Structure 1
Amino acid sequence: MSKETGSKIYLYGICAVAVIGGLLFGYDTAVISGAEQALQKYFELSLDYYSKTGFLHGFVVSSALVGCVVGGLVSGISAQHLGRKYSLIIASILFFLSALGSFMPEFLFRSNFSFYQPGEANTGVLVAFIIYRIIGGVGVGMASAICPMYIAEVAPAKIRGVLVSYNQFAIIFGQLVVYAINTFIRKGLADTPELIEEAMIKVGWRRMFVSEAVPAALFGILLLFVPKTPRFLVMKGNDEKALNVLTRINGEKNAEGILQEIKDTLQEKTESLFSYGVLVIIVGVLLSFFQQAVGINVVLYYAPRIFENMGATGDVAMIQTVVMGIVNIVFTVVAISTVERWGRRPLLMIGSFGMTIGMAALSVLTFFNIMNITTLIFIIIYTASFMMSWGPVCWVLTSEIFPNTIRSNAVAIAVAVQWTSNLVVSSTFPFLTSISDAGTYLIYAIFSILSALFVYKLIPETKGKTLEEMSELWLSKSKKSSNLPL
């Protein structure tokens, strides 16, 4: 460790553990894409009411998002009282329980603890499956709020944007991993397409869900070896431990000054949510809202179904989904490499315009029933635009835009809004597309345009600013707005 700069290995090591939470976030939210059609058939075979409306299946597919909203809401309380580290450990346990429970939902209603045999669906199994998915969603909601918060609170200002962006990389990598695992599981079930479909209904979707248990367990174990964040330690009066962590990260020369800055601004116990004005909360909420309103998770959750509607077969659709995942990885790397050079605002603006072009073109092509390689290209343009901008940058801004004194609660509100928006968008997609595919994509294109206007009008540039400087930024904006004539 250098006395001047600290240990980069130590910093990257603890951030690498934290981003496993992002990987699980992506894994849990995308695992449903490979399983949802088999899951639908599994329940339809035994439950007459399941197929009567698209709303029920839409809710089952997106039920984890109910838990995400809850997880986002409780993340602030948990992060403030238990700390960032222990909150993530709780999230890892929830991921693990959800993976096992989604694999064997019958277990919830058994009177003994013997291992079960997969059987026909009934209402109890349906309810149990939803409960287990919600439990996993709570873990996702907590991790989505606290992983970027943890990284932002340990990272030096000059590389904070890059390190927080790695969390988004982990999310997309988790999605790519689960796309590949889903494809591997599907191909390993049988030799013919007909037998594969039959096996998917019986056991395939179960294996997809339980595969998450391994990274969930690894995450929980590794978290035992990372420190609590310096800002949380100061909040709890452990200045000496905070200084030790800061020294290992930033070096002895800088650690004392950073500690003093934290102590000068950190009064999380007494500051009210609106101490820095209403605008900062509005900006955080709208930032989260627009990230989902543009429709990205519709593409991620229903990717195989969308590609099948374009004419691809089941296996080809899964492979195209993997290809899309690779594209997402590449453009997330673009964001990581440019977020500190270009800044947050330019990336968001570029992404908004790219998403508008992609979704508007998809709407037009769908309206004229053009389903070919051109359609696939515009889907890739849309997802690539999101992954190089709103995907990682929204999380960067959410983790750094709020002042120290209100960060836990403000991030919790923003993340809860994000997951609520995600739930509404994802659960309404089957119903909206049953009315009009083209009209549904047009709605997402309009929100993409509105997201650009929002960034232009309200988002401040945070590149290079310390977390402590955000307090001064929002205080000055609050004073200006309060001095405006009525």
Structure 2
Amino acid sequence: MQHLDDDKPKKKLTPYLLYCVSTAVIGSLQFGYNTGVINAPEQKLRTFFSNVSQSRYGEPFQSQTITLVWSFAVAIFSVGGMIGSFSVGAVVNKFGRRKSMLMNNILALLGGGMMGLATLSQSFEMVIIGRFIIGVFCGLCTGLTPMYVGEISPTAVRGAFGTLHQLGVVIGILVAQIFGLEFLLGSDTLWPLLLALTILPAVLQTIMLPFCPESPRYLFIVLKQEEEARKALVRLRGTEDVDDDIQEMKEEGMKMAMEKKVTILELFRSPNYRQPIIIAIILQLSQQLSGINALFLVERAGRRTLHLIGLAGMAICALIMTISLSLVKTTPSLSYLAIVAVFGFVASFEMGPGPIPWFIVAELFSQGPRPAAMAVSGFSNWTANFLVGLGFPRLEEICGPYVFIIFMVLLILFFIFTYLRVPETKGRTFDDIAQGFAARVEKPSHSPVPEAVVVENKEPAPMSPTEKVPMVNLPSEAK
């Protein structure tokens, strides 16, 4: 019997599950592509802005005006991302995970179409508006993809599948850089097609999504459709034996029945959610203020461990970059050390701060507060992205090579915070992790609720994925 239990995680990796995860990760690829695609045709777009001004007003824009329009076209993407990420909670609660991804692709078609038709319309405004719409689309993707992947994946491989979001982002950036080459789509005439190419993966995902199930957790816990949730799990797991998954969702659902609907404000007001939402925000900031992917390494070494290693590696590489760049004029050979440090910096990022904040946030919260938490953490990521993009050029002018000292200090602070406050989530159920945070919250002594049920939770929740989450007796006031 034990032998059969050991085989269960292996049997859960079905081709259909891989198909569904791959379909969702197309959204991650979109995010990466649209993040990197704007860089290659910069000079082409500047020339386009000048030509539009010449045809409209009889004279080209001044250099400062072109820079202003260009900066606005780049920054508006992050503004759209903030709005999109902040809307995730409301969208998924109303339409579900799968339908939300389908509807989101409408924005990709609209934004990509506007940018693709900009030269025909002789309108630089269409580029800006298109980038804004694509930003909203990508902001939604950064919440929808990790949430859907996390909810359809078995606990044993949830972390490994979670890193596929960052892998999709990296591949998307790489594809954008390749297609942006001058002899491909980065030419004077083809750059609108480069920006509009985002339509193709949107169409592909729209075709593939109808064959994917809705999140079993959404079906079971939100819509109360146990039979539909069971059918979805049977298809995803490739076996009729999905009782463990159903039981886990039942326990999570029972816990949700004790809670009222969680809003974004309540995430910060409730002591049960305050600590995990602060962790979620700090993890996202550690990504932005800080290639290659860990994948299944996260299930062996653990999320927290890899994040710590990544932060430490980035801090060390930032110090090496600072030293080598400041001395390169007197010792030219140090430029090679700087290059090695850059590669180490990127590798460290991809090991921890790159992929881990996106999927660990989905693990820190149970079904009720998860959409709101994903919205808040995504918003913080996009905000940090916007601020770094806006402030780094000026900081570099002021500090020169010593600008990396600022990031090194921040990385050290993030390392200390992660070491002290971030729990390990490897192999633990969603509700198990939420129980761990709830156990840390001290109840006020004057509370009218009997405290007997809380005493046993003073210790952290069990770490083993094979142990059941301890049930909490429902107090009379929850009714």
- Mark the CA change 1:342 to 1:7 in structure 2 (over 3 Å): closer, same or farther: closer
Task: Tell me which protein shows more helix as a share of its residues.
Answer: 1
Give the Cα separation in 2 of the matches to 1:73 and 1:57: 25
Give the Cα separation in 1 of the matches to 2:184 and 2:238: 51
| Map of 2:260 onto structure 1 | 270
| Map of 2:154 onto structure 1 | 156
Secondary structure of 1:258's counterpart equals helix
| Aligned: 1:237 with 2:243 | no
Give the Cα separation in 1 of the matches to 2:313 and 2:43: 30
Secondary structure of 1:187's counterpart equals coil
Shift of 1:82: 0.5
* Stretches of structure 2 lacking an aligned partner (at least 5 in a row): 54-59, 446-479
| Map of 2:199 onto structure 1 | 213
Give the Cα separation in 2 of the matches to 1:474 and 1:240: 31
Give the Cα separation in 2 of the matches to 1:381 and 1:74: 35
Give the Cα separation in 2 of the matches to 1:229 and 1:71: 21
Q: Which one of 225, 247, 253 corresponds to residue 211 of structure 2?
A: 225
Give the Cα separation in 2 of the matches to 1:374 and 1:55: 36
Structure 1 segment 71-82 matched on structure 2, within 5 A: 71-82=84-95
Secondary structure of 1:203's counterpart equals coil
Q: Which one of 15, 21, 27 corresponds to residue 27 of structure 2?
A: 21
TM-score by length of 1: 0.79
Give the Cα separation in 1 of the matches to 2:83 and 2:191: 25
- Mark the CA change 1:442 to 1:90 in structure 2 (over 3 Å): closer, same or farther: farther
- Indicate conservation of the 8 Å contact 2:219/2:229, yes or no: yes
Give the Cα separation in 1 of the matches to 2:184 and 2:167: 28
- Indicate conservation of the 8 Å contact 1:148/1:399, yes or no: yes
In the TM superposition, what whole-angstrom CA distance separates every residue of 1:108-145 from its partner, at most 9, and x where no partner exists?
A: xxxxxxxx26x5xxxxx343322110100111111111
State the number of aligned residues.
417
Shift of 1:203: 2.6
| Map of 1:339 onto structure 2 | 298
Shift of 1:253: 6.0
* Bigger radius of gyration among the two: 2
Give the Cα separation in 2 of the matches to 1:434 and 1:82: 47
Secondary structure of 1:433's counterpart equals helix
Structure 1 segment 407-446 matched on structure 2, within 5 A: 407-446=370-409
Structure 1 segment 317-466 matched on structure 2, within 5 A: 328=291, 331-332=292-293, 335-368=294-327, 372-466=335-429
Give the Cα separation in 2 of the matches to 1:440 and 1:98: 35
- Mark the CA change 1:451 to 1:17 in structure 2 (over 3 Å): closer, same or farther: same
Shift of 1:41: 4.5
Shift of 1:205: 3.1
Give the Cα separation in 1 of the matches to 2:417 and 2:38: 31
Give the Cα separation in 2 of the matches to 1:348 and 1:72: 23
Matched letter for residue 85 of structure 1: R
Matched letter for residue 239 of structure 1: E
| Map of 1:246 onto structure 2 | 233
Matched letter for residue 163 of structure 2: S
Secondary structure of 1:136's counterpart equals helix
- Mark the CA change 1:40 to 1:439 in structure 2 (over 3 Å): closer, same or farther: farther
In the TM superposition, what whole-angstrom CA distance separates every residue of 1:291-310 from its partner, at most 9, and x where no partner exists?
A: 1111xxxxxxxxxxxxxxxx
Shift of 1:39: 2.4
| Map of 1:89 onto structure 2 | 102
- Mark the CA change 1:373 to 1:6 in structure 2 (over 3 Å): closer, same or farther: closer
> Which has the higher mean CA deviation after the structures are superposed, 162-171 or 53-62?
53-62
Secondary structure of 2:273's counterpart equals coil
Give the Cα separation in 2 of the matches to 1:22 and 1:387: 15
Give the Cα separation in 2 of the matches to 1:245 and 1:208: 38
Give the Cα separation in 1 of the matches to 2:289 and 2:306: 18
Give the Cα separation in 2 of the matches to 1:89 and 1:33: 28
Shift of 1:387: 0.8
Matched letter for residue 242 of structure 2: A
| Map of 2:189 onto structure 1 | 203
Give the Cα separation in 1 of the matches to 2:374 and 2:142: 10
Give the Cα separation in 1 of the matches to 2:65 and 2:397: 13
- Mark the CA change 1:356 to 1:290 in structure 2 (over 3 Å): closer, same or farther: same
If asked which structure has higher relative contact order (CA below 8 Å, sep 6+), I would say 1
> Which has the higher mean CA deviation after the structures are superposed, 400-409 or 455-464?
400-409
Shift of 1:218: 0.8
Identity between Structure 1 and Structure 2 (%): 29
- Indicate conservation of the 8 Å contact 2:50/2:66, yes or no: no
Shift of 1:58: 3.5
Give the Cα separation in 1 of the matches to 2:317 and 2:72: 27
- Mark the CA change 1:42 to 1:436 in structure 2 (over 3 Å): closer, same or farther: farther
Matched letter for residue 131 of structure 1: I
Matched letter for residue 427 of structure 2: G
Q: Which one of 133, 136, 146 corresponds to residue 134 of structure 2?
A: 136
TM-score by length of 2: 0.80
Secondary structure of 1:396's counterpart equals helix
- Indicate conservation of the 8 Å contact 1:75/1:142, yes or no: yes
- Indicate conservation of the 8 Å contact 1:6/1:248, yes or no: no
Shift of 1:239: 1.2
